[in-house]
Structure 1
Amino acid sequence: MLRTFQLSPNGWRSWLLLQRGYNPIMRRTQDWFELARFGLFIHWGPYARAGWEASWPLVGGVSTLPFGQDIPAQTYHANAEGWQPDPAAPEKWIAAAAAAGMRYAVLTTRHHDGYAMWPSQYGDHGVGRTAPGVDIVGAFTDACRRHGLKVGLYYSLPDWHHPAYPPFTDAMRPYVFGEYPEPTPEGLAEYQAYLRSQITELLTNYGRIDIIWFDGAWERSPEMWDADGLESLIRKLQPEILINDRLPGHGDYATPEQFVPPEPPVEPWETCLTMNMSWGFNPSDDHYKSSTVLLHTLCEVASRGGNLLLNIGPQGDGNIPEPQADRLAQIKRWMDRHEEAIIGTTPGLKPWQFPGPTTLKGETLYCHLLMQPVAPVSVRGVPVRHVQNVRVLGQDHPLPFETRIPVLDELNDVDGLGELVIDVPEVMRDPVCTVIVVEFDCDPAGFEPEAS
């Protein structure tokens, strides 16, 4: 995983999207993606067997993955020989994802190292040769459908093993972005055919696929990838599929990586995030974010209208590493009570109206307290005369609150905006994040006050 450019400021990006034909009213993402809010990313391949980061060690590592390794290319690829990935592993991942409230999952079907996690008829580097009879993509898609999750397939545009790409060798070190050797014209045609063939397999053999998640586009121009042709092929094979924005010039949603953007992208978006600092199973990397930090990130992302694609890197045997499994269990504990404040919501209030993330579902406002309150909390600029109930999510007992409105509005009996002041007793607070539910008889974000 790596992305070498940042999202443009919203004004520039809006113009660019319009040039690409983006219509904010007619979006493919609105059927399910924009309300999903939470998904699981899985990076798994032979590298997990050795405890190496995904793909990057074979080119000498990369600065954005500080716990990555530097492994000779031949040694890296030889590690795949004899690896027998357990086809029962995806069931464990997807069961954990469903329990944690996730709505979709994305599996690395082929990372930059070229190892295919399905028995592809194109190319000889993958389970089809090293583990005959195994199909991890098939097991993954089946598990997603059993648990009701949408299916996403990650696919790397580069292949550092393919003879026509050309393959990466130690003589090409150090790896420099933008300077990967180009194929011959014959090699390019062969490689383009290889991409089309593998993508056709993935989008033909496994039923409906909901997302194809590209990566690695920085190494070639859109023309060399034949991005337009790939997009046309994908839409033909899977008309309802979503394509992320890493197929140059195309894409249904933006994918900021490893951070929450200060301003939400203008189009639908999803941020992908690791629990520690590595994508693959890397036992040397113990720099884990706490479950509280991960849940706070989920709340913030949802309040800005985005999705969080949270990564796990299973071990070589397919088991989820204990620190990651523990965080998924802690996320499940919180989501068991608070899922309705995340899944299926839209962004809530403006930042000045409440000191924390807010989400909205119809006429119900969810206020996320990322910090433990030391005084009553305020919700400002809302139609206070339309409040029906205030409570802590997961508890039925109503919370005491006061309302404050402008004096002239009070004197003139104007139906306007005011302030809610809510007391949250300590005994009712959640140790991770308390969610206050404010139920209105109108849309609190779209309410139009009377003139005073």
Structure 2
Amino acid sequence: MTIKNFQKKEVSEQHSIIGVASNTPVESFERTTHPDAQWFAKPNLGMFIHWGISCVQGTGDLSWSMMATGHGTRAKTFNQYGFPAVARKMTPNQYWEQAKHFNPDACDPLKWLTAAKDAGCTYAVFTTRHHDGFAMWPSDQGEFSTKNYLHGRDFVGEYVDACRKVGLKVGFYYSPPDWYFNRDRMSFRYGDVKPHLGLDHQPVELAEKPVGENPKRDAGFRAYMAAQVEELLTRYGKIDLLWFDGSVQNAIAIERLRELQPHILINPRGHGVGDFATCECAFPNTKPQGWWEYCHIFNDGGWGYLNHEIYKPAGWALTEMTKAFCWEGNFLLNVGPDSHGRLPEVCYSRLKEVGGWFKQYAYTFNNSVRGPWPEKSSMPVAIVEENKWYVYMPYDQDDILIIDDPREPIKVTRLDTKQSISWARDEQGAIVIDIDPTHRSLLVDVLEINW
């Protein structure tokens, strides 16, 4: 099984645990037509920021590290994903203890988001609350937020202010599942496996029926969730995008969200319907219908900060981005700040590489439409005019480019060198463009084909 298939399987398992309603909008749902939401229709690069109390130790992923998976997990993870993904497991009590030590003394969202803007991003999405239940703003709801632990410091507000200063659209990630709030009626054992495990990973019988099966407790949970979402949509001015990660359980209707923020874009993971499809960590096999977004992890090994501070190559990020853009989608690239609120220097250097490429080639996607990839081209293609193609050569692919088209190219140009490239036809009649692998860069090389 390939890494992509392992990722798809793991994402599917996690979505089942948190009750993701859907990753794809229902066709009958009427997508927003608000003028201030139409920016999402063109290819956009976004910065996803996963940050929370797990960064204190930086040895396990955000939230998921408190889910017991048993012996052999590290070897399995190493064999599937490589050493960057090998991480520690801890009990929920050990995990939540990190909140007492969470004190980001060098937090600088303006620096993060300036780097994002310079890299070509047009929007950002910040984890206001992950499944672990810790709210990154001083919420009036519950007992597990910066109000209780950091004297009311408002990381969400600081993030919003920085977005506005640099000119990025403001997105909020919010997890409807709250493992802290519901800690006495859920198992902390990964998957549907018994016996159930408690706050110290000891075998337990659940004291109450689980979420969704206890009407009285569920009503209180839904009220708490709805109140937190309303805080997010009323305290910080205009919010451009709301990124749910799990079922909202009818706690708050889309109509209410639009009443509070008429222009807002909403993904389908909370309600089963939404304005755009979301694809996670694996490029889709077929192009999603309508607006869509592809999110992936730049910081290798997990969504949150891990102290090995390994980031994937800039060429990888550009490859995944150009694939999404060529299918008229958006690419949301994840980073993870550390316990001080800093992004590692390697993150900034990678983003600088992405930004340099973007400054050189962003125009190739202006008013572009999907090209015939993979049906008739072996590499991603965007069409900007009827007789002009741009081909994006993936950094991890130094094969010969093959295009199945009966037309004769007038000219093929490599954009970075302005060099004219020769072409030929193979025995099947397909166009063959052979670029010597020693002449390839480690980013995404771009060809312009004029027909």
Give the TM interval when normalised to the shorter protein: 0.7 to 0.9
Contact 2:389–2:449, Cα closer than 8 Å, also in 1: yes
Cα–Cα, structure 1 residues 428 and 120, in superposed 2: closer, same or farther, change >3 Å? Answer: same
Q: Find the counterpart in structure 1 of residue 183 from structure 2.
A: 167
Alignment partner of 2:261 out of 217, 233, 238: 238
Q: Find the counterpart in structure 2 of residue 407 from structure 1.
A: none
Aligned residue type for 1:331: V
Q: Find the counterpart in structure 2 of residue 408 from structure 1.
A: none
**RMSD value, Cα:** 3.7
The 1-side partners of 2:394 and 2:24 are apart by 35
The 1-side partners of 2:192 and 2:366 are apart by 38
Q: Which aligned pairs between 1:33-432 and structure 2 lie closer than 5 A?
A: 33-51=40-58, 52-60=60-68, 67-86=86-105, 88-162=107-181, 166-168=182-184, 172-177=187-192, 181-182=210-211, 184-217=214-247, 225-226=249-250, 229-275=252-298, 276-283=300-307, 286=310, 288-342=311-365, 345-363=368-386, 364-370=388-394, 379-381=403-405, 390-394=412-416, 397=418, 399=420, 430-432=441-443
Aligned residue type for 2:187: M
Matched, 1:434 2:450: no
Contact 2:233–2:261, Cα closer than 8 Å, also in 1: yes
| DSSP 3-state at the match of 2:13 | coil
Give the CA deviation at 1:303: 1.5
The 2-side partners of 1:15 and 1:109 are apart by 23
| DSSP 3-state at the match of 1:272 | strand
The 2-side partners of 1:400 and 1:74 are apart by 61
More divergent stretch after superposition (26-35 vs 86-95): 26-35
The 1-side partners of 2:23 and 2:120 are apart by 32
Contact 2:234–2:260, Cα closer than 8 Å, also in 1: yes
Aligned residue type for 2:62: A
Cα–Cα, structure 1 residues 264 and 168, in superposed 2: closer, same or farther, change >3 Å? Answer: farther
The 1-side partners of 2:69 and 2:364 are apart by 40
The 1-side partners of 2:64 and 2:42 are apart by 33
Aligned residue type for 1:203: L
Q: Gaps spanning 5+ residues in structure 1: where? A: 8-12, 405-417, 441-452
Contact 2:55–2:337, Cα closer than 8 Å, also in 1: yes
| DSSP 3-state at the match of 2:446 | strand
Residues 251-280 of structure 1, C-alpha deviation per residue, up to 9 Å, x if partnerless? 111112111011112232212111212011
Sequence identity percentage: 32
Contact 1:399–1:424, Cα closer than 8 Å, also in 2: no
More divergent stretch after superposition (317-326 vs 46-55): 317-326
| DSSP 3-state at the match of 2:392 | strand
Contact 1:87–1:139, Cα closer than 8 Å, also in 2: no
Contact 1:53–1:68, Cα closer than 8 Å, also in 2: yes
Cα–Cα, structure 1 residues 5 and 343, in superposed 2: closer, same or farther, change >3 Å? Answer: farther
Residues 356-384 of structure 1, C-alpha deviation per residue, up to 9 Å, x if partnerless? 10113345421112367687x56553765
Instruction: Give the TM-score normalised by structure 1.
Output: 0.77
The 2-side partners of 1:281 and 1:205 are apart by 27
| DSSP 3-state at the match of 1:80 | helix
Aligned residue type for 2:48: F
Aligned residue type for 1:174: R
| DSSP 3-state at the match of 2:189 | coil
Residues 137-186 of structure 1, C-alpha deviation per residue, up to 9 Å, x if partnerless? 11111111222211110000011112xxx2258x9342435998236433
Give the CA deviation at 1:29: 9.6
Residues 284-331 of structure 1, C-alpha deviation per residue, up to 9 Å, x if partnerless? 585x53322222122212212222211111111111124433322332
The 2-side partners of 1:149 and 1:14 are apart by 25
| DSSP 3-state at the match of 2:141 | coil
Cα–Cα, structure 1 residues 282 and 431, in superposed 2: closer, same or farther, change >3 Å? Answer: closer
Contact 1:37–1:342, Cα closer than 8 Å, also in 2: no
**Number of aligned residues:** 404
Cα–Cα, structure 1 residues 345 and 27, in superposed 2: closer, same or farther, change >3 Å? Answer: farther
Contact 2:106–2:340, Cα closer than 8 Å, also in 1: no
Contact 1:39–1:103, Cα closer than 8 Å, also in 2: yes
Cα–Cα, structure 1 residues 76 and 430, in superposed 2: closer, same or farther, change >3 Å? Answer: closer
Cα–Cα, structure 1 residues 290 and 175, in superposed 2: closer, same or farther, change >3 Å? Answer: same
Q: Find the counterpart in structure 1 of residue 38 from structure 2.
A: 31
Give the CA deviation at 1:3: 4.4
Instruction: Give the TM-score normalised by structure 2.
Output: 0.77
| DSSP 3-state at the match of 1:435 | strand
The 2-side partners of 1:185 and 1:380 are apart by 59
Q: Gaps spanning 5+ residues in structure 2: where? A: 1-9, 17-21, 197-208
Contact 2:250–2:271, Cα closer than 8 Å, also in 1: no
The 1-side partners of 2:441 and 2:44 are apart by 21
Cα–Cα, structure 1 residues 205 and 399, in superposed 2: closer, same or farther, change >3 Å? Answer: same
Cα–Cα, structure 1 residues 141 and 177, in superposed 2: closer, same or farther, change >3 Å? Answer: farther
Contact 2:373–2:380, Cα closer than 8 Å, also in 1: no
